[in-house]
Amino acid sequence: MRNFLAVAVSVVSLSLFGCNNTSPDPVQEPAPETSEQTQGMYVTGSGCEMDSDCDSGLCWHEADSYPLYNPYWIRASSCTEECGGPDDHESCRLLGLSLNAPYPNTAKCIPARGVYDDGDDQIVYVCDMLSMGLGHVAWVE
């Protein structure tokens, strides 16, 4: 019984005071407050509401690429990146591969009008994340 008690006291002592720890514990910094953070950054291929949601700075919605995506049939969004033009599918395919998209070989570079939140209505070309199986999709009933 004495050996059991001695072992128990030794284990408790070592756990309280550390084992062979000669350096003092580092001073713990208080955790920064997170109340100032008002938005999250979503990675490319995630659903989004506005450009500031995306770490790429570009949030695409289905209405941006009408009539290819008709907002009467589908609601969709994705953080995406610009591409070179209607024939630049390879850069989008490589982007899909880097994101481990389910269907990277179906990548397309599609036109989008007014995709930036700044109100500019120009056409830019973006990688279609939906065709690769990424983004947020909801079918309209």
pLDDT in tens, 72-84: 999 999 999 999 9
How much is the pLDDT for 40? 53
Task: Specify the pTM.
Answer: 0.67
**Arithmetic mean of pLDDT, 82-99:** 94
How much is the pLDDT for 16? 47
Q: Mean pLDDT score of the chain, rounded to an integer? A: 79
51: helix, strand or coil: helix
What tokens does 102 get? 């389910």
128 secondary structure, DSSP code:
-
Per DSSP, helices labelled H in the chain are 2-17, 89-98
pLDDT tens across 105-138, in order?
999 999 998 777 777 778 999 999 999 999 999 8
